[in-house]
Structure 1
Amino acid sequence: MERLPSWIRQHLAALRALLVLTVVTGIIYPLVATGVAQALFNGNANGSIVQKDGKDVGSSLVGQLFTDKDGNPVKKYFQSRPSAAGDGYDMESTAAGNLGPEDIVDTLAVPGAKDSEGNPDTGKQSLLTQVCARSKAVGELEGVSGARPYCTADGVGAVLKVFPAVGTPTRAVSVNQACPATPFIAEYQGVKVECGKPGEDYAAGRTVAIRGSGKAVVPADAVTASGSGLDPHISVAYADLQAGRVAKERGLTSDRVKALIRENTTGRSLGFMGEPGVNVLQLNLALDRLKG
């Protein structure tokens, strides 16, 4: 029998290899991996779903908001950290804010102006002002000082634009405080500080952040989002800060609430990586199971 040409034999061999690898890697391996996962890690393999009264209420791996329809914190629940994923913990929009420590100057909203789609101009908050505003809000919610280094009392970044950029200052503007706000400091190096005028270009000035005094009471994770925007944990310090409010709202003692925090605190990964964290969803569900 006459042998097939070599190029045909090569193509047939390639086709056989394709079929075998498709069956092995596309059918057999996925079925085996899925079967092992379902048999040994059933809960994790199915999304680590958490239930309450037989209903799915979330995942222990993904955070969620505990707010009302208007976005206000529900006071009887522990609050999660901020999220940069969509409107908050949107798994289809997981993302970081991509803002760094040098993002400290706001773009002030111009009254009456509209964007390209006809919506009112809302300006753009810098990362610093976002942190300051969150710290102020958390302080008000928890009844503690929301003050923070480099933040003004009204919750924006304490930043000046100084003119000229080099040499003796002749003008200083608190660029994150829109007029007619009173600047957070009256003078800078002998020059009266002005409020910021929306729409005015201050790019030519030298950026000066004013640290101020005092130490922040509100923990860092209460005012910053995680890299994915989906982190379900908060720090023990942030949980402890909220314990008094939650205890009061639920008619519980602070000791009882703090005991629940400890029960829902996970240790460092592998015993040495990262910091202990508190799973907010599981902690709130544990609270709901209590009487009070």
Structure 2
Amino acid sequence: MTTKLIRPALVLFAALTLITGVLYPLAVTGVAQAAFPAQAAGSLVMRDGKAIGSTLIGQAFSDPKHFWGRPSATSPMAYNAGASGGSNQGPLNPALADAVKGRIEALRAADPGNTAPVPVDLVTASASGLDPHITPAAARYQAARVARVRGVSPDSVEQLIARNTEGVSMGWLGEPRVNVLALNLALDAKN
């Protein structure tokens, strides 16, 4: 009696493994690559045939001549796509307060003349820890530093920010945002 039950169970196990573990993923991948080829390939940004980043995952920029993105809470390194997730530190957590204080000090040290309030997205990580965008306010906060270090006019940097500001999705979803990698590449191409 047990052998009569084992064989159908094994056949069903093998069939479901084939369907859900092989055929379905191949079909979804095929449709994604046909309908959205750039996104299915990771939305990679290529330069001279080499991938230099993705428009979907933030990168660590620390050079004062570049715009800096949101901090990343992933480990063991920043912007680790394999460890997506926030720090889960609440607003009353002293570790979060210390991290924010340190980030504010770093921003102030990089641009001592800037006395404007620091936008919150420059000192707090997103829920994924991988956010490639900052708010237009966060970009404008950094514009004077970037212009000064690059030796260009603040107006030209402001124009680049405006050109690289993405609107709300589908006309109503989300907020305007600036992709940090795209903005930095536009800056590098300009000078």
Give the TM-score normalised by the residue count of structure 2: 0.85
Contact 1:91 1:230 in 2 (8 A): yes
- Once the two structures are TM-superposed, the CA of residue 12 in structure 1 deviates from its matched residue by 4.3
Match for residue 265 of structure 1?
165
Aligned partner of 2:110 in structure 1 is: 141
**How far apart are residue 247 of structure 1 and its match?**
1.9
Q: Partner letter of residue 130 of structure 1?
A: A
CA distance in 2: counterparts of 1:51 and 1:76, whole angstroms: 21
Q: Deviations over 1:4-55 (max 9, x none)?
A: x7x6655544444334333333332222222212222111112111112221
User: In structure 2, what is the equivalent of residue 228 of structure 1?
Assistant: 128
* Distance (whole Å) between structure 2 residues aligned to residue 241 and residue 77 of structure 1: 13
Cα 1:218/1:9, change in 2 over 3 Å: same
Instruction: Report the AA paired with residue 53 of structure 2.
Output: G
Counterpart Cα distance in 1 of 2:89 and 2:154: 37
Q: What is the Cα deviation at residue 78 of structure 1?
A: 0.7
Q: 1:95 maps to what in 2? A: 85
More strand by share: 1
Contact 1:84 1:96 survives alignment (8 Å): yes
The amino acid across from 1:89 in the alignment is: Y
Q: 1:25 to 1:134 in 2, by over 3 A?
A: closer
Answer yes or no: is 1:256 the counterpart of 2:156: yes
What is the match of residue 48 of structure 1? 43
Residue by residue over 1:81-112, the C-alpha shift from the partner in whole angstroms, topping out at 9 and shown as x without a partner, is: 222112421223433222222224xxxxxxxx
* C-alpha distance in 2 between matches for 1:271 and 1:63: 24
- AA matched with 1:100: G
In our comparison, the structure showing a higher alpha carbon Rg is 1
- 1:88 and 1:22 map into 2 onto residues whose CA distance is 36
Matches within 5 A, 1:1-292: 11-67=6-62, 74-86=63-75, 87-104=77-94, 126-142=95-111, 143-145=113-115, 217-290=117-190, 292=191
In structure 2, distance between residues paired with 1:15 and 1:88: 44
Contact preservation (8 Å) 1:81, 1:222 = yes
| Distance across 1 between alignment mates of 2:139 and 2:44 | 22
| Secondary structure of the structure 2 residue equivalent to 1:58 | strand
Change (3 A) 1:54 1:17: same
Hey, which of these two has a bigger chunk of helix by percent? 2
Name the SS of the counterpart of 2:27 in structure 1. helix
* Aligned partner letter, 1:243: A
Percent of paired sites with the same residue: 48
Q: Structure 2: which amino acid aligns with 1:144?
A: N
After TM superposition, the score normalised by the length of structure 1 is 0.58
Which deviates further from its counterpart, 251-260 or 56-65?
Answer: 251-260
**8 Å Cα contact 1:52/1:285 also seen in 2:** no
Question: Aligned partners of 1:268 and 1:139: how far apart in 2?
Answer: 30
Q: Deviations over 1:251-282 (max 9, x none)?
A: 33222222221222222334333321111111
Equivalenced residue count is 189
CA deviations over 1:110-148 (Å, ceiling 9, x no partner) = xxxxxxxxxxxxxxxx32232223223212323212xxx
| Superposition RMSD in Å | 2.3
